[in-house]
Amino acid sequence: MGVSSTFAGAKIETLLVSNTTSSSMSMSASASPASTGLLCKPVAAVARVKRCHLIKNKRSNSRIINCEVQTIGQKVDSNNVPSASASASASASSLSALEQLKTSAADILCSALRLRHYVERSSIVVIGLSIHTTPVEMREKLAIPEAEWPRAVGELCGLNHIEEAAVLSTCNRMEIYVLALSRHRGIKEVTEWMSKISGIPVSEIRQHRFLLYDNDATQHLFEVSAGLDSLVLGEGQILAQVKQVVKVGQGLVGFGRNISGLFKHAITVGKRVRTETNISAGAVSVSSAAVELALMKLPESSHATARMLVIGAGKMGKLVIKHLVAKGCTKMVVVNRSEERVAAIREEIKDIEIIYKPQEEMLRCAAEADVIFTSTASETPLFLKENVTDLPPIYENVGGLRLFIDISVPRNVGSCVNDLETARVYNVDDLKEVVAANKEDRLRKAMEAQAIIGEESKQFQAWRDSLETVPTIKKLRAYAERIRTAELEKCLSKFDDDIPKKSRKAVDDLSRGIVNKILHGPMQHLRCDGSDSRTLSETLENMHALNRMFSLETQISVLEQKIRSKVEQNQK
């Protein structure tokens, strides 16, 4: 990767001789203006050269070197051999053409060396499958329980081109954030890893995944943390899940400086957006949206009388209960494996009748319920078609249909239940109906939040950019310190051994002060933290200039070395 391979020896498949104005004037009248002289391979029909230039991605602000093969037409005979006039022209202009080519190749190589920083810089990449792009059937196969996040991070960082990683797995999304030593190879490795753990073919994952890099990946996570990418605008639960990624990642080797810094900054963004905007007004979680969806499907006259059953008393189940209470429900049945959690909820929510039933009585409770919310961690469905077929019918005054609101991933209710005329199943994908009802308000609040996200994205990028000059800063300080100590020892050696400690310290302090004052200017010009008007390109130019002037020899091929090391380690 990087220029070291792209520009190895200014690799050119066939040497091209440009048809300049001066050379065309010296050609014979019979020479075609489009004809060119070829070196090394006179039988080639066309000449090709890789032209490389810097391209700036306007959205992501990233820079890449684009190499394209340019083909120049050439007159050939039926035997695919250049015409006599073309050969004569080639002979006459070969020396000047070679010089032009050498100069051009040298210019390309010099530009490439200056741009190696951009080419070789690690990329923050998100490989994601969300409710917006992927059906629930695929998401539930890819879902990684929180207890498995450390293992997943370890396996991801064991891949040849992945240095850091984090997993954000919720009911609405499965997103993997990585620091990739090579963007495209890293994406390939992560996609294959996802296929391996889920059993889903790589081709199918590619069909549904989305890919974002660097600034776009940063902005995406900030939007996720702020609740802008959720089904319900301003959903608070996703911010808690982002916080949990940081909590679980603490101490993990693969949860490194870049990725941990990204997630910590995302938490700051999420808090700021909720504090400074009205984004949390209304339904702000999957649980609240589930309750609103149920009430939308029920006749309004039955809201106070419909029989509610909640299966699962975890975080999601507790939120469902709270939102049911907020909507006026005064009685409900809660099925859970143990009574402890239900008792704690009952203690917290006073004056509401919450009836506990054990897991064994789930079907009997379902037979006496009009609306059933499921939110358990069960990996197998709790309700299939055969479980629901024999349940008693629902009265017409509550809609005549038994409603299953399944907010679990993996799903607790099989889609086959929808085949029955007496029941309807709604899962997390169906919550879009609730969101659509508030679309205009969502757009207005999102615009307010986006302004905040834009500011924070610039701050994070400035922080990450500032990391690029750290090796140069360290080496420059070490270089100056070596000179200082050597000259200090040389100076002190000229005095007697009994020179007072106070005098030694004074001379030492003097030398340190001189060095610090001299380094102050160069260090200031290596700053790229957004505190001044200096651009990243200017800072990087300063960095390369210092490397050359002081022969610091900062290792610009560090990414290749890291990759080589990981490959060798994986082969052991």
Ramachandran category for residue 195: left, alpha or beta (phi over 0 → left; psi -120 to 50 → alpha): alpha
Measuring CA to CA, which residue among 430, 441, 443, 446 is closest to residue 292? 430
Q: What are residue 82's DSSP bridge partners? A: 76
Q: Report CA torsion sign: 530, 532, 536, 541.
A: negative
Neighbouring CB atoms inside 10 A of 68's CB total: 10
In DSSP terms, 47 is beta-bridged to 72
Respond yes or no: is residue 416 known to be catalytic.
no
| DSSP H or E stretch at residue 65 | strand 63-72
Residues 6+ apart with CB under 8 A from 103: none
Helix (H) or strand (E) holding 212: strand 210-213
Name the one residue in this structure whose structure tokens are 């957004």. Answer: 530
∠ CA 327-328-330 to the nearest 5 degrees?
130
Q: What percent helix, strand, coil does the chain show, rounded to 5?
A: 55, 15, 35
């020179």: which residue's tokens? 499
**φ and ψ at 164, to 5 degrees?**
-135, 155
b/e for 406-438, b at 16 or more Cβ within 10 A? bbbbbbbbbeebeeeeebbbbbbebbeebbeeb
CA distances from 235 to 59, 223, 238, 286 (A): 27, 11, 6, 7
E strand or H helix at 497: none
> How far is the C-alpha of 419 from the C-alpha of 429, rounded, in Å?
18
| Residue type at 268 in one-letter notation | T
Tell me which amino acid residue 73 is: G
Rounded Cα distance, 140 and 172, in Å: 9
324 and 291 in contact (C-beta within 8 Å)?
Answer: yes
Catalytic one of 52, 171, 365, 528: 171
Would you please indicate which residues are annotated as catalytic (active-site) residues? 171
